[in-house]
Structure 1
């Protein structure tokens, strides 16, 4: 008997809730495609603003040494004193393919910023494919080979591409999971430079 009364009470409350919403006109109108685009744009702008905020206690990037495509050893610490964009990627990754032209274009316009692209070679489809990718995209920034997934694990890379913005002192200013474009890179570098002033 108590269960029946409780059930009736819950159904009654739901009916009252529905009736109140209908009477007050709280039905949501479907959003137009323009409204959806504006909302997406606003979210994107707010995301960039949030991403450029700086934590007072910035961690230092973990140093590593890997070989480049020419077989030379390169360490992250070799770039101390420069702003570094550290990017983790693979040739089979669609967002990586999407962002590489942006990375190259951004790199060509900079004198004081280095891009270091760490190919997760142990998860990729072979060294020849990596070389072909670099040639196809005309990449001129350093491409390092993480053949044993040591650096990928060191940085806890789960999703690619993942990009770190590292300041002149070697501190991680920003981490971005997912593809970046040239405008995002410019905004983050400008935020870093204004923070350092």
Structure 2
């Protein structure tokens, strides 16, 4: 009788040890993979917290020309960035289910309402990251946003603007060059004021 109980207890202990080792190995493997895939970058960008990105992802630097592009807007019009030459531009990249994007959108709208005579706001939707296309229009309509929303349906701008996280924002001066460090993460009204005041 005691031998059977002892054998059963021993078996349970051994099973427990095996399960604990498997779980521990999986945790260790996941941690190692994340460390190998991620490189912490200090690229001079303005961001909240550390950004995890490839080492070549510094983005378009201040003083460099903003890469031109042409996209269809949410309203079906053609939008070309170079048509805004001579104006200050806030160029934002976003998608509708991104929590930091959702956080900053009311701030962008408020800023646009106050400064639209001085600054053009262009919020490029990273459409390939949306769950479905209709989410874009639903989001803009629901929240009453009135700035320009071009649709990057083929992910054409991720490479030239090195967009690896959303939201990502660039500040383009009247001469068509980037004039402030890019911002990765949500912006508030005061931050946009500060960036624009430092632009020509």
**Which of 66, 69, 88 is equivalent to 1:64?**
69
The residue aligned with 1:87 is 92
For the 8 Å contact 2:71–2:79, the answer to whether it is kept is yes
The residue aligned with 1:191 is 198
Q: For 1:59-118, what per-residue CA distance to the aligned partner results, in whole angstroms no more than 9, with x for missing partners?
A: 000000000012111011111110000000001100000000000000000112000000
Q: Distance in 2 between matches of 1:176 and 1:57?
A: 12
For the 8 Å contact 1:86–1:163, the answer to whether it is kept is yes
Higher helix share: 1
Q: C-alpha displacement at 1:161, in angstroms?
A: 0.1
- Shift >6 Å, 4+ stretches: none
The residue aligned with 2:142 is 136
Pairs within 5 Å for 1:89-128: 89-110=94-115, 111-128=117-134
For the 8 Å contact 2:62–2:179, the answer to whether it is kept is no
For the 8 Å contact 1:58–1:171, the answer to whether it is kept is yes
Q: Distance in 2 between matches of 1:137 and 1:97?
A: 10
Name the SS for the 1:154 alignment partner: coil
Name the SS for the 1:84 alignment partner: strand
Q: Distance in 2 between matches of 1:70 and 1:90?
A: 17
Consecutive unaligned residues of structure 1, counting only runs of 5 or more, are 1-46, 49-55
CA RMSD of aligned residues (A): 1.6
For the 8 Å contact 1:84–1:166, the answer to whether it is kept is yes
Q: Distance in 2 between matches of 1:63 and 1:118?
A: 13
TM norm structure 1: 0.68
Q: Distance in 2 between matches of 1:57 and 1:124?
A: 30
For the 8 Å contact 1:69–1:145, the answer to whether it is kept is yes
Name the SS for the 2:157 alignment partner: helix
